[in-house]
Structure 1
C-alpha cells in the first residue's frame, strides 16, 4: 500500500515536471507601431485550453486594458485586444507594453513593446522608451539643516510609478570633499512619479545630487546642485534686519544732529549780525571821536598861541628892565 502511494506521488511529480519542461508561451502582435483607429491584434501559443491573462501597460506603467482569454485546443490564440482611440490623457502617444501571463505554467509571462504614434507611416517610427528625470533642489542651504530634494520620473511624458528603492536604486550625492553618499534607501513617494528625500548636509560647499532612474530597461540621469553655507538665508535675513534697524537709528541720530547744526548755524548768523552791528557802532564812535579831536584841536590852538604870545611879552619886559 505504501509502495502504491509512493509510486502515485512519483507519477504526479513526473507529470508536473514533464508539463513544466514542455511549457510553452509565445506572444506576437500584428504591428509594432499603431496610430488611431488601428486594431491591436495579439496572437501566439500556449497550452491547449489554457486560461491566459492579457494586459496592456501605458507609458507610465499603469494598466490601460485587461482581458482574460482561453487558448484553442491546439494552444493557439488570436485576440483583438484594442482599437486605438484618439489620443487622450488615458491613451496618450508613447510606448506601450503588451503582456500575456499563463495561469497554468507557474505564472510565466511574455512581453512585447509597441508604439502608439500620430503618424500613419509605421515603418520609420522607432520602437523605444524614453525616460526623463528631473531633479529639484534648493540653490542654497545651511550646514546641519535638513533640505528636501524632489525627483520627477516620466516615460513618454507620463509619470512613472514604482518602488523608489528599485526605480532610484543607484542615486547618490557628491560631497565637496569628493566622496559620494548613496540615497537609494532614503526616497519616499509623494505621488506616482514624484519622489522626495530629506538630506542634511554636513559639509560646506557645493553638493551635487545625481539621480539615476531605471525603468523598463531604460536608464535616465538627472542632477541638481546646492551650495551649502555656514548659515541659511533666514539667519542672513535676521542679520540684514538687525543692520537695517541700526541704520535706522543712525539715520535718526543724524537727523537730530542736523537739526542741532541748523540751530547752531542760526546762532552763528545772529552772532555775526551782532558783530557786524557792533563793528558799525565802533566805527561810528571812532568817527565821532575823530571829529571831537578836531574840534578840541581847533579850540586849543588859539589858547596855546595866546599863551605863547604872553610868555614872549613877559620875556621882552624882563629884558628891558635889565
Structure 2
C-alpha cells in the first residue's frame, strides 16, 4: 500500500518535469510553392528563446531566427516567404528545425516540400539520398588509387562529416575478405569525398559505399580490376617495344640499302665477267686461227725435212 501511494506521488511530481522536457513544433503546411508564406507554431518552456532554422536539401542553412515563447510556452510566427526557384533555392525537400535554448539538446525537426505548384496534388514528404561512386576501371598491385564519392539529395550536394556520413563503407576483396573504409574518406568539397586505397591482391575489387543522412540510407558501388601492373606500365612497355621495332626497321632499311648496293655490284661484276668471257672466247678463236695458219706453214717444211732425211738414208745405204 505504501509503495502504491509512493508511486502515485512520484507520478504527480514527475509529470510537470516530463512536460517541461517536451517541445511541440509544427508548420502550417507540408507543401509550399513560390510566393507562399511559411508559418510555424508550437509550444516550449515558458519564456524560452526558441531558435528556428531552415535547411536546404544539401543541409546548408537557408535562414534562421529566434522567437521567445509566452508565459505558457506558446510561440507563433511567419518564418519565411518562398522565392522563385533558383540554384540557391531549388525545388526539393527542406527541413525546419526548432531548438530550445533553455534545455540543451531539446529540438524537433519537420520535413516540408518546395514545389512549383501545390494544387490538387499529393506529394509524399520524403528525403532521397543518392550516392555515386567513381573508381578506376583498372589498377595495379601495391600502387595507390583514389576512390571518389558524390552524395546528393534533390539534386544538391549533401555535406557532413565523412566518418559519420560514410561510416559503414567497405571494399570486397577477390578472396572474399571485407575491408572497412570508414576512416579512409576525406572531404574534397561539400558532398564530394575521396579515399586513398592500395590494393594488395590481383582480381576484382568491389567498393560498396553506404551513405546515411538524417535517417535515410543510400548505397553506391563500383568495381576495379587490379592487375600485376597498371596501364601506365603497359604503355611504357609498348612505347619501348615501338622504339625497338623502329630501330629494327631502321636497321632493316640500312641492310636493304646495302644489299641493293651489293646487288648492283654483283650485276656490274657479272657484266665484267661476261665481257671477260667474251674476250677470252675471241682470244681462243684467234689462237685457233693462228694455230691453223701455223700448221699450214709448218706442214710443207716438215714434209721437205722428211723427204731430205729419207734421201740421206738412201744415199748412206748405197755407200755401204
Q: CA deviation at 1:80?
A: 0.9
When the two chains are superposed, the root-mean-square deviation of aligned CA atoms in Å is 3.3
| Residue aligning to 1:319 | none
Corresponding residue to 1:72 among 66, 70, 73: 70
Higher deviation after alignment, 38-47 or 18-27: 18-27
| Residue aligning to 1:231 | 229
Corresponding residue to 2:162 among 159, 164, 168: 164
| Residue aligning to 1:26 | 24
Change (3 A) 1:19 1:107: farther
DSSP 3-state at the match of 1:277 = helix
C-alpha distance in 2, partners of 1:197/1:38?
Answer: 43
TM-score (norm 2): 0.82
TM-score (norm 1): 0.81
DSSP 3-state at the match of 1:185 = coil
| Residue aligning to 2:7 | none
| Residue aligning to 2:171 | 173
| Residue aligning to 2:143 | 145
DSSP 3-state at the match of 2:183 = helix
C-alpha distance in 1, partners of 2:16/2:243?
Answer: 86
| Residue aligning to 1:196 | 194
Which runs of 5 or more residues in structure 1 are unaligned? Answer: 1-13, 315-322
Does the 8 A contact of 1:210 with 1:224 survive in 2?
yes
C-alpha distance in 2, partners of 1:228/1:16?
Answer: 67
Q: CA deviation at 1:271?
A: 1.1
Does the 8 A contact of 1:93 with 1:156 survive in 2?
yes
TM-superposition CA deviations, 1:176-208 (whole Å, max 9, x none) = 111111111221222211111111111011111
Q: CA deviation at 1:113?
A: 0.5
| Residue aligning to 2:3 | none
Q: CA deviation at 1:290?
A: 6.1
| Residue aligning to 1:209 | 207
C-alpha distance in 2, partners of 1:264/1:284?
Answer: 30
C-alpha distance in 2, partners of 1:242/1:295?
Answer: 78
Alignment of 1:199-278 (within 5 A): 199-278=197-276
| Residue aligning to 1:9 | none
Q: CA deviation at 1:94?
A: 1.1
Does the 8 A contact of 1:20 with 1:105 survive in 2?
no
Corresponding residue to 1:36 among 34, 45, 53: 34
Does the 8 A contact of 1:71 with 1:77 survive in 2?
yes
C-alpha distance in 2, partners of 1:156/1:63?
Answer: 16
C-alpha distance in 1, partners of 2:13/2:203?
Answer: 63
C-alpha distance in 2, partners of 1:29/1:273?
Answer: 112
| Residue aligning to 1:280 | 278
Q: CA deviation at 1:131?
A: 1.1
Does the 8 A contact of 1:34 with 1:122 survive in 2?
no
Paired residue total: 303
C-alpha distance in 2, partners of 1:20/1:295?
Answer: 158
Change (3 A) 1:269 1:16: farther
